[in-house]
Amino acid sequence: MKRTGLIVYNPQFDAILLVHRLENEKDYWVVPSIQLNPNEAPKTAAKRICSEKLNLKLNRFEEAFTTEAENYYFYTETDTIEAPAWHDGPKTKGNLYVPAFVRIHELTNINLVGKEVKDRLCYFFSKLKKGND
């Protein structure tokens, strides 16, 4: 199934919100994302991540990139410095979802799942920084 991810950026700290996953003894990071509902627009799903999963009130959503698997990623900014809790249904025993802000320069050093997503994130922020210089 296709997914939508949300890149929540804090420009003051030059950090993005990621979800640290601890699952069956695996330790990795992901961009907050959800499956698209049937006939749901990707931008609507991005807004749903904010309201249902992160409980953040953000209004501006810009398309950042689309992966080859047609997963959609949107960009937004926040001035919040504290990572919100991840709101979800019941979890399988032993699985944790822990949102945390990660500085952009640390992206290459963490186990961010999805090489294409990691590469595109790094490229996206390199372009963003050049545009702000």
Per-residue pLDDT of the chain (133 residues; tens, 9 = 90+): 899 999 999 999 999 999 998 888 889 999 999 999 999 999 999 999 988 888 888 888 999 999 999 999 999 999 988 888 887 755 556 688 889 999 999 998 999 999 999 999 999 999 887 776 5
CA distances from 48 to 35, 91, 130 (A): 10, 19, 30
Structural domain total, the chain: 1
**Which domain range does residue 123 map to?**
3-132
- CB neighbours of residue 71 within 10 Å: 21
Say whether 28 sits in a helix, a strand or coil: strand
Which of 119, 105, 120, 113 is CA-nearest to residue 74? 120
pLDDT of residue 47: 92
Q: Please give the DSSP secondary-structure letter assigned to residue 29.
A: E
pLDDT of the residue at 105: 92
| Residue 52: per-residue pLDDT | 87
What pLDDT was estimated at residue 59? 81
N residues, the chain: 133
CATH code of residue 117: 3.90.79.10
